[in-house]
């Protein structure tokens, strides 16, 4: 088969990594071409063509007309394959980081190109800055990376036969012996807001005396930097056993080899590499389970029983009134941005409902309130004990045994269900269906918004502006 891939850029990042994995998986079975707006000095085992108009929008760079960009793409495809390509596989096509890409895709359809659109991230899921009101491309096949997203798209109007589940492939983490201190609990993460760094710091208070928490990388976006710097300052001021940016100072393979275990506290993920990769290195995983993501893994045999679904905090431990004000403001602002009608009375009633429970999930709070909670636990041994009573899985310890059965099981599941060979055959099977079974379908964007605008999981770390 002749397969062309398209993505905004090839800079280091999750989606670019997936694209590279796909190219590597297919290069010996297909003719492969990559189209991008920014090569970023990336070397791939196939031809790569940089096309103006495909990259992210920039204020100082005029955007190319959608038809012009489509014609450039068609010219490259025709030069490469005079008979045409079988499938143009486009990554994250519906994000408005390029305002013209959706219209460009529609021009490609009109020019007779067979499309496969793989969604990794939904702009409707709390990414207001990447949201476009342009309708999704119709009458083409879509791909998603988890069952939740597939069901959402089916509910929004797509046919089950027109949405394909394609979980990412997992490569074993590099492991190298090193001379780093033992007892490291590693959070291998770029510390953007949704990674919930405050919760990782709270968990560090329950480490053993000879253990420390290591967070690997800083954020790579200015919008996340203020939150990150404030957490760094808080840790330094309170002399906590937490180390930032250790991935910049040490070889990552040595960090993995040294780590006694790994951690995740993220409040939202597209796929969830963090739930699969630790087992490839023989490391136990602690922290927060994300039901929508982890259900897929567990149905494939992964055991995640040591993780918790929420971290309950008494409302009395922070300024609850101020929290509700921030929460209501964020809900209203998000609704306005998306032009998504939400009854103000419903917002008020939901706030009251949350208050009646007497406690709240730590992951819903903003950084200001999270710091109040951490400070309270730091200053009160009784609070520290009480939090453990409320959350029995808080401690970094196994309920029984040494965890060897869990480690062995999960290592086996990841290798069998998320290996490269399985991934390759899945891709080829999808492409055959895309070519052989045209679909007539379209997405109702209002239903998409309804699915993601969930007040039960409306975390200020994702939806709200940063408040120091």
Residues 160 and 44 in one domain: yes
Q: In this prediction, what percent of the chain has a pLDDT beyond 90?
A: 82
Asked if residue 165 and residue 154 are part of one domain, the reply reads yes
CA-CA distances (angstroms) from residue 69 to 35, 96, 98, 398?
Answer: 11, 16, 12, 55
**Does residue 425 sit in the same domain as residue 386?**
no
Please give the average per-residue pLDDT across 342-362, as a whole number.
80
What's the pLDDT score for residue 358? 86
Q: Which of 17-21, 97-101, 411-415, 453-457 has the lowest mean pLDDT?
A: 453-457
Task: Tell me whether residue 223 is in a domain.
Answer: yes
Same domain as 358, residue 242: no
In a domain, 44, yes or no: yes
Q: Which residue range forms the structural domain that includes residue 458?
A: 312-390+451-468
Percent of the chain with pLDDT over 70: 99
Q: Is the domain of 408 the same as that of 426?
A: no
Q: Please indicate, yes or no, if residue 123 is contained in any of the structural domains.
A: no
Same domain, 316 and 289: no
Residue 176 lies in a domain: no
Residue 130 resides in a domain: no
Mean pLDDT of all residues belonging to the chain: 93
Whether 381 maps to a domain, the answer reads yes
214 and 258 co-located in one domain: yes
Cβ neighbors of 413 (< 8 A, separation 6 or more) are 279, 297, 300, 301, 302
Are 219 and 355 in a shared domain? Answer: no
Task: Examine the domain organization and report whether 274 and 240 are in the same domain.
Answer: yes
Confidence of residue 355 (pLDDT cuts 50, 70, 90): low
> How crowded is the C-beta side of 239, counted as CA atoms within 13 Å?
0
Task: Indicate if the pLDDT at residue 356 is higher than 80.
Answer: no
Res 191 pLDDT > 90: yes
Is 286 inside any structural domain? yes
Residue 60 DSSP label = T
In-domain check, residue 175: no
Counted domains in the chain: 3
Q: What is the tens place of the pLDDT at every residue in 81-94? A: 999 999 999 999 99
CATH number at residue 284: 3.40.50.2000
pTM: 0.93
Q: Are residues 341 and 428 in the same domain?
A: no
Same-domain check for residues 363 and 461: yes
Query: 323 and 348: one domain?
Result: yes
The string of DSSP letters for 389-429 reads: HH-GGGSSS-SSS-SHHHHHHHHHHHHHHSSHHHHHHHHHH
């Amino acid at each position: 088969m002749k397969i062309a891939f398209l993505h905004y850029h090839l800079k280091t990042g999750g989606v670019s990594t997936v694209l590279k994995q796909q190219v590597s998986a297919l290069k010996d079975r297909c003719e492969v071409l990559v189209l991008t707006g920014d090569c970023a000095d990336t070397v791939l085992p196939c031809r790569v063509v940089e096309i103006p108009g495909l990259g992210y929008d920039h204020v100082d760079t005029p955007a190319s007309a959608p038809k012009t960009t489509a014609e450039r793409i068609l010219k490259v495809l025709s030069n490469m394959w005079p008979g045409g390509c079988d499938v143009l596989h486009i990554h994250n096509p519906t994000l408005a980081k390029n305002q013209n890409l959706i219209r460009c895709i529609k021009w490609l359809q009109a020019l007779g190109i067979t499309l496969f659109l793989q969604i990794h991230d939904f702009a409707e899921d709390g990414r207001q800055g990447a949201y476009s009101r342009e309708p999704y491309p119709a009458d083409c096949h879509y791909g998603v990376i988890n069952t939740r997203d597939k069901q959402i798209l089916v509910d929004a109007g797509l046919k089950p036969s027109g949405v394909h589940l394609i979980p990412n492939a997992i490569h074993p983490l590099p492991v190298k012996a090193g001379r780093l201190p033992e007892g490291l609990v590693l959070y291998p993460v770029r510390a953007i807001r949704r990674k919930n760094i405050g919760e990782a710091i709270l968990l560090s208070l329950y480490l053993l005396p000879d253990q420390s928490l290591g967070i690997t990388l800083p954020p790579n976006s200015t919008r996340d930097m203020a939150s990150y710097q404030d957490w760094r300052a808080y840790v330094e001021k309170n002399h906590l056993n937490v180390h930032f940016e250790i991935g910049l100072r040490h070889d990552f393979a040595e960090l993995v080899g040294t780590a006694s275990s790994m951690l995740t506290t993220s409040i939202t993920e597209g796929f969830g590499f963090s739930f699969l990769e630790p087992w490839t290195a023989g490391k136990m995983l602690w922290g927060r389970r994300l039901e929508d993501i982890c259900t897929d893994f567990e149905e494939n045999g992964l055991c995640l029983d040591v993780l918790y679904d929420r971290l309950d905090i008494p409302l009395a431990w922070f300024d609850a009134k101020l929290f509700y004000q921030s929460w209501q403001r964020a809900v209203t602002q998000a609704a306005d941005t998306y032009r998504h009608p939400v009854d103000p009375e419903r917002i008020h009633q939901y706030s009251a409902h949350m208050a009646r429970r007497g406690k709240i999930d730590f992951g819903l709070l903003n950084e200001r309130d999270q710091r109040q909670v951490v400070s309270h636990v730091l200053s009160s041994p009784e609070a520290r004990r009480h939090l453990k009573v409320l959350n029995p899985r808080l401690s970094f310890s196994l309920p029984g045994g040494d965890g060897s059965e869990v480690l062995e099981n999960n290592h086996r599941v990841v290798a069998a269900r998320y290996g490269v060979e399985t991934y390759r055959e899945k891709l080829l099977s999808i492409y055959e269906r895309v070519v052989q079974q045209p679909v007539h379908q379209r997405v109702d964007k209002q239903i998409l918004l309804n699915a993601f605008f969930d007040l039960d999981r409306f975390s200020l770390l994702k939806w709200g502006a940063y408040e120091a």
